[in-house]
């Protein structure tokens, strides 16, 4: 089995394990699928909506991919959750092609690159989630592939691919694509040789025009159809607004720095890389791709680890080039990158088998309820880890490290899948709401509703988002209605609730309007 085939195979296995063991996770995954469901239900593929209102935070490419599959296969949770893994596979293939262009005389680099990319736990995990970072990473790799084509003399193909990457990347996660894709071609004098610079920057301008045309072909009609508020949020909030002050996840400039060893695990922990040195155009190409956007993200207020995922192919290329430089791997080299994973696996084993009475001392108190009832199949989980580490046929130490890391992720899915189903499965609540709507009962959710029940329940109407101060008035006006709230402590819920279900670190509580009106606001919200 070639290394590329091995990387593809382990990503496919991880995606399948995620589908089998993990429910749609609230709120981000559930919200993504809910938006696609509303676009499907209304037949409006132009303006994404959430709970009946235009949703300007994300452009439509990921939703379109889900809708395209549903047009062929009908509405399917499986297809919607396969979109991100398919983009992940596209990342692997495009990274291999890019490595061949950057180092045509070093075929081993192209073989190592996809192994290194799948070996990043952050990439492997998010490639199984119905979110936007891995699809964005695909367009980033595609755009850089275009830059490499242009450098190698395939001018038209190269700038066209960059334009497509810019345009569809913007339609995947907004203008952040500019931060990912423009530094490498703009700073080409730092890495490229033998280039006619006037012709180069003219081609870059043409690629920018192609990207702008693709993005505006959707953005302008959507802005007109969505109305003034949507237009302002789409055209302004997605650019200067998000750069100047993040709407969420605001962090100081240095926040990413302590995460770098974790984000680049395990390859930054790989001793052969420390013993190697390389300085060639391909390495400088990938270094600009990695370093300049990272500095930009440090300066932008909104920060999350997954925002760095489109930088991981660059890190994988650098690592593959250094590993492919012929530095010998010693027998003990895999131990350091795999050591933390083994320690975490043993820690999870201890936590999973600890008596319920001791869990609160092992885990934070507010999370203890999430894991205290886990019936963990420990032997099976441990078998996954050992199989990945000890099986002989994997081609080389690098592949063994990658398989070991992914085996740990598989084991985590198997070990904690039941607990995730209990605390994160939205289906019981969504079915209750769908039945209430089918019976003509109005439904309201008190604070914190992000549309996450829409797809899971295949809801045909929005849910009213209710402020706490309006609870009593709404309940008195809708005695036959359904009122949903979330509380942290179940023992503070008074008698009379229609339904109480575990939800993340708390509980979802369902009331009928008449009972809510009788008990009053403070009792309903658990005060």
Lowest mean pLDDT among 91-100, 315-324, 395-404: 395-404
State how far the alpha carbon of 299 is from the alpha carbons of 249, 272, 306, 307, in Å: 13, 32, 16, 13
Q: Quick one: tokens of 363?
A: 């885990």
Percent of the chain predicted with pLDDT > 70:
78
**Which of 184, 382, 204, 422 lies closest to 282, judged by CA?**
184
pLDDT of residue 198: 94
CA-to-CA distance for 291 and 295, rounded, in angstroms? 6
| pTM for this predicted structure | 0.85
Q: What is the pLDDT of residues 96-142, one digit of tens each?
A: 999 999 999 999 899 889 988 998 889 999 999 999 999 999 999 99
pLDDT of residue 468: 87
Local structure of 444: helix, strand or coil = strand
Q: How confident is the model at residue 353 (pLDDT cuts 50, 70, 90)?
A: low
**Which of 415, 409, 408, 398 lies closest to 126, judged by CA?**
409
What helix, strand, coil percent values describe the chain, rounded to 5? 65, 5, 25
Q: What is the pLDDT of residues 487-506, one digit of tens each?
A: 888 888 888 899 999 888 88
């Amino acid at each position: 089995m070639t290394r590329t085939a091995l990387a593809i195979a382990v990503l496919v296995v991880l995606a399948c394990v995620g589908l089998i063991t993990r429910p749609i996770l609230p709120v981000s995954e559930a919200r993504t699928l809910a938006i696609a469901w509303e676009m499907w239900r209304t037949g409006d593929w132009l303006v994404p909506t959430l709970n009946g209102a235009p949703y300007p935070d994300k452009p439509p490419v990921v939703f379109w991919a889900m809708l395209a599959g549903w047009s062929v296969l009908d509405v399917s949770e499986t297809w919607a959750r396969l979109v991100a893994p398919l983009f992940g596979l596209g990342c692997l293939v495009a990274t291999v092609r890019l490595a061949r262009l950057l180092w045509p005389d070093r075929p081993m680099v192209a073989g190592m690159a996809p192994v290194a990319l799948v070996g990043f736990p952050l990439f492997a995990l998010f490639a199984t989630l119905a979110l936007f970072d891995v699809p964005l990473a695909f367009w980033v790799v595609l755009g850089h592939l275009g830059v490499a084509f242009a450098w190698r003399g395939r001018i038209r193909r190269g700038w066209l691919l960059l334009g497509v990457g810019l345009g569809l990347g913007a339609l995947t996660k907004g203008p952040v694509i500019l931060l990912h894709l423009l530094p490498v071609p703009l700073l080409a004098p730092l890495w490229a040789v033998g280039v006619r610079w006037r012709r180069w920057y003219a081609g870059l301008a043409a690629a920018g025009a192609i990207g702008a045309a693709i993005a505006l072909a959707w953005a302008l009609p959507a802005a007109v159809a969505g109305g003034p508020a949507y237009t302002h949020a789409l055209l302004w909030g997605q650019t200067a607004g998000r750069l100047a002050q993040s709407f969420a996840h605001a962090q100081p400039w240095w926040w990413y720095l302590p995460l770098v060893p974790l984000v680049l695990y395990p390859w930054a922990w790989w001793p052969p890389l420390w013993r190697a040195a390389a300085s060639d155009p391909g390495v400088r190409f990938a270094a600009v791709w990695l370093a300049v956007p990272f500095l930009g993200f440090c300066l932008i207020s909104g920060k999350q680890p997954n925002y760095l995922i489109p930088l991981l192919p660059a890190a994988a290329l650098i690592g593959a080039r250094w590993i492919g430089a012929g530095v010998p791997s010693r027998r003990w080299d895999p131990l350091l990158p795999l050591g933390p994973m083994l320690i975490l696996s043993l820690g999870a084993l201890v936590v999973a088998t600890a008596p319920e009475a001791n869990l609160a001392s092992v885990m934070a108190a507010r999370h203890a309820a999430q894991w205290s009832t886990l019936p963990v199949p420990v032997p099976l989980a441990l078998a996954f880890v050992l199989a990945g580490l000890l099986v002989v046929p994997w081609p080389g130490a690098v592949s063994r490290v990658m398989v070991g890391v992914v085996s740990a992720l598989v084991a985590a899915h198997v070990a904690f899948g039941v607990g995730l189903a209990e605390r994160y499965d939205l289906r019981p609540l969504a079915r209750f709401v769908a039945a209430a709507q089918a019976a003509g009962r109005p439904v309201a959710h008190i604070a914190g509703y992000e549309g996450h029940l829409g797809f899971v329940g295949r809801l045909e109407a929005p849910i009213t988002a209710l402020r706490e101060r309006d609870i009593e008035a709404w309940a008195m006006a809708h005695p036959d209605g359904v009122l949903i709230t979330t509380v942290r402590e179940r023992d503070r819920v008074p008698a009379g609730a229609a339904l109480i279900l575990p939800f993340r670190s708390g509980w979802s509580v369902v009331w009928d309007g008449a009972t809510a009106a009788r008990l009053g606001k403070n009792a309903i919200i658990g005060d």
